[in-house]
Copies of this chain bind each other. A is one copy, B any other.
């Protein structure tokens, strides 16, 4: 088992991969309605101010602040109401000293008005006048033109995953076409003489290919497009031919192979022949997931995943997801969604190995409790039953019952 002579810790393994793999973001334009979860390929710069005009933030009277100085309940200021600021249009009149205009939230201030007094602090009196019971400061209850955004300002940087708030901001600015990163294509090769497609009835000894489906889902989740190359036999020639086709057609290639040593060696040999520099890391100090291969071939990332279904997903989360995020131009190391929880039992580990322990979360009076799901062989439903993963750091020999741990949520 030559691959296990030298295990690489996960952080240096990822670093080594990215030393040889420099993702190039390719932009494409999509309509705003299709931009959620896509990643900006370039910064979005405002062409106009937001708000586009000076607006009231309350219902009340637009006025000149100076006309209200000293006003109070006992000594109100009397102003002449000269009209109403219409919604969606310029008022068409200026305020002269001593004048006020009725205005609604969001309405455009008449020229020469510099403040709004809330309707609660006014009292209409007869003959088109209003009593103002409070002094207003200049700018009070007013949203200045450009207060949110100035023309020419960068409002969304490149490499930002678009959320509902960005969609709203883009709509407000009139940006209905967005330049986003093209979704990287991830070719998935499944090999194993024992594998049959999920729709097949199994014969004794046969196993349905589940990894290429769970990995396709993970690729989709990360923002890539999965391309499945089907189930291949454990033979060098067809595997090599399909791998070359996948490398030509995709941005990233992933092998999910059988888990026996001979098959792992076969995958490594196929990757080594795919292109330079080839295999960079063979074996990582992660449990589950030791038999992992990280490679770069002709500038493209190539990953050999362990055959065990839980290992495959854990390792894909550690290495494939950052590759996809890199190809989308996302910055590395953003916060991973998690919750703090109290561990219910001791978890043993080995120093020098990073362990990922599947846990269920239970809400309790003192916050969440994290209960490890122990499964001797990392069976797929042990992961499907889990809410998250707890990392036992490389240097730790375990975690103790009662410790507060960060549970990275396994997301849909």
Given contacts A221-B36, A260-B105, contact A205 B87 (CB under 8 A): yes
Pair A174/B208 contact, Cβ less than 8 Å: yes
Is A137 part of the binding interface, using a Cβ–Cβ cutoff of 8 Å?
no
- Max chain B C-beta neighbours (<10 A), residue from A32, A107, A164, A335: A164
How many residues does chain A have at the interface if contact means C-beta atoms less than 8 Å apart? 106
Is A89 part of the binding interface, using a Cβ–Cβ cutoff of 8 Å?
yes
Could you tell me which residues of chain A, from 183 to 216, have a CB within 8 Å of some CB in chain B?
Answer: 192-196, 198-211, 213-216
Out of B59, B89, B207, which one reaches A204, CB within 8 Å? B89
> How far does the alpha carbon of A199 sit from the alpha carbon of B217 in the complex, in Å?
34
Given contacts A199-B176, A201-B174, contact A57 B337 (CB under 8 A): no
Is A148 part of the binding interface, using a Cβ–Cβ cutoff of 8 Å?
yes
* Residue of B with least CB distance to A335: B339
Is A309 part of the binding interface, using a Cβ–Cβ cutoff of 8 Å?
yes
Is A156 part of the binding interface, using a Cβ–Cβ cutoff of 8 Å?
yes
Is A279 part of the binding interface, using a Cβ–Cβ cutoff of 8 Å?
no
Pair A205/B108 contact, Cβ less than 8 Å: yes
Residues of B within 8 A of A217 (CB): 36, 163-164, 167-168
Stretch at the interface among A8-16, A245-253, A377-385: A377-385
Pair A106/B168 contact, Cβ less than 8 Å: no
Pair B87/A51 contact, Cβ less than 8 Å: no
Given contacts A32-B213, A261-B59, contact A165 B50 (CB under 8 A): no
Residues of B within 8 A of A162 (CB): 412
Given contacts A53-B204, A198-B176, contact A335 B361 (CB under 8 A): yes
Pair B88/A383 contact, Cβ less than 8 Å: no
Pair A210/B307 contact, Cβ less than 8 Å: no
Is A282 part of the binding interface, using a Cβ–Cβ cutoff of 8 Å?
no
Could you tell me which residues of chain A, from 298 to 346, have a CB within 8 Å of some CB in chain B?
Answer: 307, 309-310, 313, 333, 335-340
- Max chain B C-beta neighbours (<10 A), residue from A90, A201, A214: A214
Is A147 part of the binding interface, using a Cβ–Cβ cutoff of 8 Å?
yes
Pair A214/B165 contact, Cβ less than 8 Å: yes
Residues of B within 8 A of A121 (CB): none
Is A390 part of the binding interface, using a Cβ–Cβ cutoff of 8 Å?
no
Is A411 part of the binding interface, using a Cβ–Cβ cutoff of 8 Å?
yes
Is A399 part of the binding interface, using a Cβ–Cβ cutoff of 8 Å?
no
Residues of B within 8 A of A383 (CB): 165, 168-169
Is A368 part of the binding interface, using a Cβ–Cβ cutoff of 8 Å?
yes
